[in-house]
Structures are given as C-alpha cells and as structure tokens.
C-alpha cells in the first residue's frame, strides 16, 4: 500500500551528513517541497531545528514516530527521529563518524519504508564518503547502500538535466580499475537501464549515445582497441535489437551533440567522464537518479559543501529538481491510494 495526499507522492527526505548543507537545503526548500509532494524528513530533530533557526523559518518542527503520522502540511515539518542524540554535537564542516553513521541510518530507514510501500520514494541530501568510512560503513556512497539493502545486482547512477540523462558504467573506483570492468554485457545492461528510465520519464523512443573510452575513439586501434573489440560490436548488437544508439563517439564530441539535443541519454564509461560534462551543462540544475532499483531514489547532484555549511548560504535548487524527478517517477508507476 502506498500513500498520497491529494494525488501527491509521499516522499522521504534523508538529511544526509549533518555537518554539511543537507539540513539547511531541506529547511530552505520546505514550502516548495510541500507543493510537489507529501514530505517527511528522516534525521535528527535537534539538527533540523537548528537549520530552521538558521534561515529564520517559522515552520513548526513536529517529531513523528512513523510514516503513518505524517500530515504533509507546509506549516509543519514532520520528522522521524533516527539514531542517538549525540549526532547534534557534530561540528559544521567536519569529518565525523557520528555524521557518517547517521547518514547511513537515515537512508536505511527510508529504504525499508519504500520497500514496504509505505512511502513512494526517497530524496537524499548529500553525505560525505570519509564520514561514512569513519563510521565503519563498507560502502562508499548512497548508490551502493541502496543496491545492497534492496538486493539489487544491476544498478547504476544517472545524472540528469532537462532533456539529457547520463548513466555511468563504472562509478566509485580508481581509474586504473575501470578497464577491468568493461564488457559488452555490463555496458549493454547499463544502456538498457538508461533506456527504460528515459521511457519512464516520458521519452517515447530514447536516443542513446555511447561514449568512447580512448581519445578520438581510439583512432582504429592507434590509442587502444576497446572501441573495436568491445564498444562497436555492442552498438551493432543493440541496433539490431531495435534500440536507437550510436557510438562509440569521442566524449568531447558526444556531449556537445547531446547538449544540442541530438541524444536523450549518454552511456559514460567512468565517473568523471559523465559527471564533469553533465554538471557543467547543468550549472547546478542536475539531479542524481538511481536506476535499476525496485524503489525510487533521487538526490541532489552536489556534495556536502563543507566550505559553506551552516553559514546560511546554501540554496535548495538541486533539491527541488530532485524532488520533481522523484514525484514524476512515482506518478509514472501509476500508484493508487
């Protein structure tokens, strides 16, 4: 059973790393979040109240025991308290195991609620990978935690802006290790995940571009042979199966063409290949989407911003964009009350 308030999806907002800007952007965006969905915050009440006070908000903080008690009214901020009270002692802009443990536990609660269909999706504020590690969490980020908790083997991170989405074949690993994680099967699986996600976002016939690995797409073997041995045969296979996909195309050319509107989605082969181009094109409007999961999860596409954390400077634009995507994905599932 899923819950809606006047047709709005019910979304949980995890606070992320409390030393960063997550609490502030939730507080700053609260009124607009309530127009897009029925929201509940997952985190720490003392930290959330401090964020509301920081921006001078008159919103009343209301601690609830579970998702059933959430009212979803803009005058109140409903929050589920997770973890111990000592997280309120975390200093702004610092690596702290308490913050890492909190960010992990906030997310786990939200995942379990989404898996039980008590909420329609999750929107995450940023966490810090070093704080996660300090807390003894084995995973480097949200995506990997989500995959394990939901029992998902085929998943990927997608960055999206209006009109373009980029999926990543490899993610949080050293660049030297990327070459060992490239195969026609694994890259093909990512392409299909992106294709299905774009269809859920309303693209009837997704047009995909596959990024080359080597400069100038290898120049027919002069700078590497992955294009000829792995990528080009894969594109031919997918095209024969009826998918609209081109490549491998040198990344510098591909992203220019994609931003100009020639492609709806790009398959990038490693983290920075996709992130740099998409974030530059997005200029702060990008959103992070987890593809392949049995639940909906979107996120801001920026980090904890320790340099401006708790100084009243953070804006909620990326959080609002992530919320719009989550709401649209929830509606595309045709959930019923």
Contact criterion met (CB below 8 Å) for 65 and 85 = no
As a whole number, mean pLDDT of residues 321-330 equals: 93
Confidence of residue 334 (pLDDT cuts 50, 70, 90): very low
Instruction: Name every residue whose Cβ is closer than 8 Å to that of residue 178 and which is 6 or more positions away in sequence.
Output: 170, 269, 270
pLDDT at residue 337 in the model? 26
**What's the chain's average pLDDT?**
92
As a whole number, mean pLDDT of residues 166-190 equals: 92
Cα–Cα distance, 201 to 219 (Å, whole number):
35
The model's pTM: 0.88
- 1-152+293-337 fold: Isopropylmalate Dehydrogenase (3.40.718)
Q: How confident is the model over 290-312, as pLDDT tens digits?
A: 999 999 999 998 899 999 999 99
Q: How confident is the model over 18-77, as pLDDT tens digits?
A: 999 999 999 999 999 999 999 999 999 999 999 999 999 999 999 999 888 998 778 899
Which DSSP helix (H) or strand (E) runs through 107?
helix 97-115
Which DSSP helix (H) or strand (E) runs through 12?
strand 8-14
- 154-292 fold: Isopropylmalate Dehydrogenase (3.40.718)
Short-list 154, 165, 101, CA closest to 127: 101
Residue 263 has pLDDT above 70, yes or no: yes
Cα–Cα distance, 302 to 313 (Å, whole number):
14
Tokens of 197: 């996600």
Domain boundaries, the chain: 1-152+293-337, 154-292
Residue 204 has pLDDT above 50, yes or no: yes
Cα–Cα distance, 13 to 132 (Å, whole number):
18
pLDDT at residue 2 in the model? 52
Residue 335 has pLDDT above 60, yes or no: no
Start-to-end C-alpha separation, the chain:
7
């Amino acid at each position: 059973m899923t819950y809606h308030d006047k047709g709005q999806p019910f979304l949980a907002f995890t606070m992320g790393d409390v030393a960063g800007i997550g609490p502030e952007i939730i507080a700053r965006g609260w009124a607009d979040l309530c127009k897009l969905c029925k929201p509940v915050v997952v985190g720490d009440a003392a930290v959330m109240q401090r964020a509301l006070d920081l921006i001078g908000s008159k919103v009343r903080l209301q601690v609830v025991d579970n998702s059933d008690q959430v009212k979803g009214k803009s005058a109140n901020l409903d929050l589920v308290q997770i973890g111990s009270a000592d997280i309120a002692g975390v200093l702004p802009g610092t690596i702290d195991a308490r913050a890492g443990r909190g960010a992990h536990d906030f997310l786990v609660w939200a995942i379990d609620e989404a898996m039980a269909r008590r909420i329609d999706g999750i929107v995450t504020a940023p966490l810090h990978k070093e704080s996660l590690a300090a807390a003894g969490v084995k995973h480097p980020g949200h995506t990997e935690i989500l995959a394990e908790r939901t029992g998902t083997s085929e998943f990927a991170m997608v960055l999206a802006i209006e009109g373009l989405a980029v999926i990543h074949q490899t993610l949080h690993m050293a660049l030297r290790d990327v070459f060992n994680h490239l195969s026609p099967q694994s890259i093909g699986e990512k392409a299909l995940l992106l294709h299905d996600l774009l269809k859920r976002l309303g693209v009837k016939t997704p047009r995909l571009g596959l990024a080359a690995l080597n400069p100038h797409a290898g120049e027919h073997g002069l700078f590497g042979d992955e294009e000829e041995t792995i990528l080009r045969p894969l594109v031919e296979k997918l095209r024969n199966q009826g998918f609209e996909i081109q490549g491998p195309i040198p990344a510098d050319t591909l992203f220019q063409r994609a931003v100009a509107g020639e492609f709806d989605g790009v398959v990038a082969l490693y983290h920075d290949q996709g992130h740099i181009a998409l974030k530059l094109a997005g200029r702060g409007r990008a959103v992070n989407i987890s593809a392949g999961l049995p639940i909906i999860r979107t996120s801001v596409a920026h980090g904890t911003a320790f340099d401006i954390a708790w100084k009243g400077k953070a804006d909620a634009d990326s959080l609002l964009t992530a919320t719009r995507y989550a709401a649209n994905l929830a509606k595309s599932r045709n959930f019923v009350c």
